[in-house]
Chain A
Amino acid sequence: GESVGLHLPTLSVQEGDNSIINCAYSNSASDYFIWYKQESGKGPQFIIDIRSNMDKRQGQRVTVLLNKTVKHLSLQIAATQPGDSAVYFCAENIRPGAGSYQLTFGKGTKLSVIP
């Protein structure tokens, strides 16, 4: 199940099941999005990206879905494995004013895989 509150949202999934991690982004003008995975004690690692002219992109065991109408992004992980346990971040490329684009991160969701 998923819990949201003052703490980092956590999603607990049985090994072998599919996981869906959701993210709401802020800027309707954002045109590029990335999902990152951060394992304990490590830096965020690129998983998959999607441009705003697409609504779905697939990688190896991962799929990203983009719904621009409601500004929603999701990451689907097929056949979740213990090694998928990590904190997952969505990030959007925002251009504040006339400046350069900068990657802005969402709050993160902790995925715990139950063996």
Chain B
Amino acid sequence: DTAVSQTPKYLVTQMGNDKSIKCEQNLGHDTMYWYKQDSKKFLKIMFSYNNKELIINETVPNRFSPKSPDKAHLNLHINSLELGDSAVYFCASSQEGGGTDEKLFFGSGTQLSVL
């Protein structure tokens, strides 16, 4: 009964490959996010979707494409993986999104290693 679950936990792949990370939340939240955490633990927002609609799209290469089939799911597809994409990717959700006092609930992360 994990609130925000993402798979896989670990992803090791070669440069140039295409891969996807899946995320699901069972909290009934309207907004979902993808964050990237680098080796120095810095967390940076990539995207947010509110009820399947893209709200935030930070300066992220267009090789990264989020897809939200419904408001409980937000998947991240990455084309032509590069070494610099190696990081931990976190999915998160919040009740409404975009409000003044939103609490985010995070998944346990996907550690992506590009060789």
* Chain A interface residues toward B at CB < 8 A: 7-8, 31-32, 34, 38, 41-46, 49, 51, 87, 89, 93, 99-105, 107-108, 110
Contacts and interface: CB of A to CB of B under 8 A. Distances in A.
B22 to A, nearest CB: 15
B40 A100 contact: no
A6 to B, nearest CB: 8
Nearest 9 interchain pairs by C-beta: A100-B98, A43-B106, A105-B43, A32-B101, A108-B41, A44-B106, A43-B108, A43-B109, A43-B107
A102 B56 contact: yes
B45 A8 contact: no
B45 A103 contact: yes
Contacts of B50: 100
Nearest to A103: B104
Given A41-B108, A44-B90, A51 B41 contact: no
B63 interface: no
- Chain B interface residue count: which class? 20 to 34
Contacts of A32: 100-102
Interface string B60-89: 000000000000000000000000000000
A42 B92 CA distance: 13
Q: Pick from B4, B48, B97, B104 the residue with the most CB of A within 10 Å.
A: B104
A45 B105 CA distance: 7
Interface string B14-51: 00000000000000000000000000111111001010
B56 A108 contact: no
Contacts of A89: 43
Contacts of A43: 4, 90, 92, 106-109
19 contacts: A8-B40, A8-B41, A31-B100, A32-B100, A34-B104, A43-B4, A43-B107, A46-B105, A49-B101, A89-B43, A93-B101, A99-B56, A99-B98, A101-B99, A102-B45, A102-B98, A105-B42, A108-B43, A110-B41
